Chain A
């Protein structure tokens, strides 16, 4: 009442006297606030919003904003000057209000006023001790109360300070040791303010009693500062970290933003403060690990891969309580949201912090929390799904590096236990575990670093030990082959004719594609070689059991291979891989094998003569020819040293050979991994996987040998099924329809499914070989 009356008086006075200056207005509102508190009755239960305090504070703020607009050349106006000089100790008063929370609601008001002052003015003079000290005190005093109802306002003020630091990094210093007072001073209210605003502080009452009640105590507090100096602190980060455990997701979000702003400052000394004087990295990773541990063990692993969570998502989404898609959704969302925050933070922050954070991530999350789950067979499926998803979603180079090194090991350790464990997980009889681990390997390759790809894939093939000199070709061998081929040809019937027509058709299609791409066969010998390679894959399976003998989708595969190959060229462009990559040579290293044995050519051409008189073009190539040329190279090589393809390829080939007895999904991911590897622009890997004519020792497993093995088995077993053509046709339709109900359908035929996967996989490999060849030609030009 009194204050309103004074306002009226003031208005009346304005009419009579010349209008007051801005500073006089400012002083007037200040006095009104002090008056209110001088007469404040502790028993008064009125909320602060029902008093004139907000009005006066708002007016003072507006006066500062207004005067700033008129200031020229960065000078400070008289109202702001009064604050900086502490002739009007507004900020200390706000601090006292926040500490006392009198009248009720005063703390939130003090915090929002402080925030508004910093946000609305261009020059809030935060580097002045009379500005930053009360702000620090206010933050510390509010922070003393866990789960305070004003968390939101507190963290807004903190974020605002981070914003100021971002614009003027030098300000970070005011939150570091020599400028931050010791804790008891921070928890006290200066005596002059206690006289001006005689209300008892609610927070830190004991500290008030011990520290600021007498001048002596004050002195002793100050002397503690030196002790404090030994122990460097970065108050800004410490305060931000304390809000990460808030139950309010919006508060957590603000704290996250603040941490990101401070961590992304380019100044080295700030980054060093964050890593060495604050537990920031440890706290962030600890939180990740605890979110990981709270994921229920009975979450369905197949739910993990569909999640697509970004870090601010949780803050926004969790208001929506009805939204819980499946068991464990909330926990998984919370975990992946936090992972995305770690990843985003690592991309944006100072390199020093990024490397410290990624090391902490490996130590405290990957090794400390996740690793044991991968070998614990009760949980391995879910853990693998989660860890694989982690690797899939992360994007920061530091994090990917650390993640990869955890998986494959560093230095020259020959067999890294974790990698071996993953390989073995693929080979258990638990198909779910095989599937999830294959998915993981898919991601490991997709996210591969030069080091990790080397360790997993290249380590053994780099020696080219899989290559064996062409075998001696003796007459006995030739006779044997002749007998064999004649024997087979005797069995020709109508199906054989169809097979030949089919081969002609495929040949024509390939020729069309090659001509279309300007690679006319016959123009250059290499063109014929690539024709052979493609043929080897496309004619692997006999026509009689093909689900799609027309092969209408080659173009699709070529297009797809082209896109993916380009991706790999870009992704590996910085890798120190052999530059002498020569697609022509390696795609068709038939120069080593096939071409170097003209007898074989003659022999086989003769073999076909009775049936294919019109076939004069040597590029025309037949399935049997490929099979035989393979057989040839496998002979007579028992004397050679055995090539060890390493645990990873052993596992891949073993699973591949087992395709007919494995679930569709396993085969799909298996072939996807191999096609990914075939795309890698590394010459050795290329010839090892994509050159069917490569001369190898008999016992050396190769992709093509394994594929032939599977093809033989399918060719034997499928025709035994009753009505097999119909089954093949239906299965193909089902698989292509992408109908989810198919998975639940009991009577699907695993054997036929594997046939279709193999059939399409061969097209894919042919397309990859073609695209890589085309690229190498292009590079030569």
Chain B
């Protein structure tokens, strides 16, 4: 199916916070209470519309377990958006956010939009992390924040779509170089006519601009 843009997302966070369930809810609109441990990467995709444009979200769901971190971090590269998920009923998953954030920022591009998600909002009675704490963490680190429930589907659509909106705005502002696939954005097949432009070409006179090494 034709799309104007394709955005690559990653979902990261501790094991058992509901990353795979969020993905399943978003792509299949269903909830599966028993879910197998994720080891490698699992893919999901869905088409959304922003500003009248078809956008394909290509979502990479990663393993949360520390043991698989060596493979997981190689998937961060080239993502335009990340959902960083914790479980509001497990304080430790919130405490680990800083590590996840450092890891993500180190292995991905600096413009990546990160959405912080407190999942399992349906389990109010077992809540260990206040909503305000999530908000404060997001503010401090420049993230967008939202509480969701993969079980009731509350805010799940919004989480994925708002991240896409933010990426879309960054494209409009020219923050993302959409011709560089390392940014996790691809122009859809019908747009890809402007291919051959030599990127380094004109930097002109700027051996300086062209020969950057980092």
Q: Which residues of A contact B (CB under 8 A)?
A: 65, 115-116, 119-120, 159-160, 162-163, 166-167, 253-254, 257, 260-261, 264, 302-303, 305-313, 315-316, 320, 322-323, 325-326, 344, 348, 442, 446, 556-557, 560-561, 563-564, 567-568, 665, 668-669, 671-673, 675-676, 732, 735-740, 742-743, 756-757, 759-761, 764, 767
- The reply to whether A159 and B40 form a contact with Cβ atoms under 8 Å apart is yes
In the complex, 6 of the A-B residue pairs with CB atoms within 8 angstroms, ordered by the A residue number, are A163-B67, A257-B41, A442-B211, A564-B212, A671-B207, A761-B207
Q: Give which listed residue, A312, A446, A740, contacts B75 with CB less than 8 A.
A: A312
Q: Tell me if B67 and A736 are in contact (CB < 8 A).
A: no
Which of A344, A557, A742 has a CB less than 8 Å from the CB of B208? A557
In the complex, whether B199 has a CB less than 8 A from a CB of chain A is yes
Residues of chain B within 8 A of A316, CB atoms compared: 43, 58, 60
Which A residues are in CB contact (< 8 Å) with B39?
119, 159-160, 162-163, 257, 261
Any chain A CB within 8 A of the CB of B77?
Answer: yes
Question: How far, in Å, is A347 (CB) from chain B's closest CB?
Answer: 8
CB-CB < 8 A to A675: which residues of B?
207-208, 211
Q: Is the CB of B40 within 8 A of A257?
A: yes
- Interface stretch, picked from B47-55, B91-99, B131-139, B190-198, is B190-198
- Which residues of A sit under 8 angstroms from B199, Cβ to Cβ? 306
Other than the given A320-B189, A673-B211, A760-B207, 18 more pairs (CB < 8 A) read A116-B36, A163-B67, A166-B67, A261-B68, A264-B70, A303-B196, A305-B200, A307-B181, A308-B182, A310-B77, A311-B74, A668-B203, A732-B205, A738-B204, A739-B202, A760-B205, A761-B207, A767-B208
Residue of A nearest to B204 (CB): A735
User: In the complex, which residue of chain A has the Cβ closest to the Cβ of B186?
Assistant: A323
Chain B interface (Cβ < 8 Å from any Cβ of A) = 34, 36-37, 39-41, 43, 58, 60, 65, 67-68, 70-71, 74-75, 77-78, 179-182, 189, 192, 195-214
Q: Which residues of A contact B65 (CB under 8 A)?
A: 167
Q: In the complex, which residues of chain B have a beta carbon less than 8 angstroms from the beta carbon of A313?
A: 78
Contact across chains for A254 and B40 when beta carbons are under 8 A apart? yes
Which one of B36, B70, B75, B181 lies within 8 Å of A120 (CB-CB)? B36
Q: Which residue of B lies closest to A321 (CB)?
A: B189
Given A167-B67, A446-B213, A675-B207 in contact, is the A348-B74 Cβ separation under 8 Å? yes
* In the complex, chain B residues whose CB is within 8 Å of the CB of A737: 202
Contact across chains for B40 and A740 when beta carbons are under 8 A apart: no
User: B214's contact among A163, A564, A732, A735, by CB below 8 Å, is which?
Assistant: A564
> Using Cβ atoms and an 8 Å threshold, which residues of chain A touch B198?
302, 740, 743
Top 3 nearest A-B pairs by Cβ distance? A738-B202, A672-B211, A760-B205
A740 touches B207 (CB 8 A): no
Report how far A756 CA is from B204 CA in the complex, Å. 9
Query: Which residues on the B side are within 8 Å of A671 (C-beta)?
Result: 207
- Cβ of B41: which chain A residues have Cβ within 8 Å of it? 253, 257, 312
Task: Select which of A253, A310, A676 is within 8 A of B78 by beta carbon.
Answer: A310
Closest to B70 in A: A348
A368: min CB distance to chain B, Å = 26
The answer to whether B195 and A325 have CB atoms under 8 Å apart is yes
Q: Smallest distance from the beta carbon of B46 to chain A beta carbons, Å? A: 14
A302 CA / B213 CA spacing, docked (Å): 19
Flag if B74 contacts A735 (CB, 8 Å).
no
Contact B203 A738 (CB under 8 A): yes
Is A676's CB under 8 angstroms from B182's CB? no
Enumerate chain B residues within 8 angstroms of A561, measured Cβ to Cβ. 208
- Across the interface, name the chain B residue whose C-beta is closest to A322: B189
Chain A residues contacting B189 (CB-CB under 8 Å) are 320, 322-323
Q: How far is the CA of A260 from the CA of B72 in the complex (A)?
A: 11
The closest CB in chain B to the CB of A255 belongs to B40
Quick one: closest A residue to B63, CB to CB? Answer: A163
The residue in chain B whose Cβ has the minimal distance to the Cβ of A556 is B208
A668 touches B207 (CB 8 A): yes
Q: Which residues of A contact B37 (CB under 8 A)?
A: 119-120, 163
- Assess the A757–B75 pair: CB atoms within 8 A: no
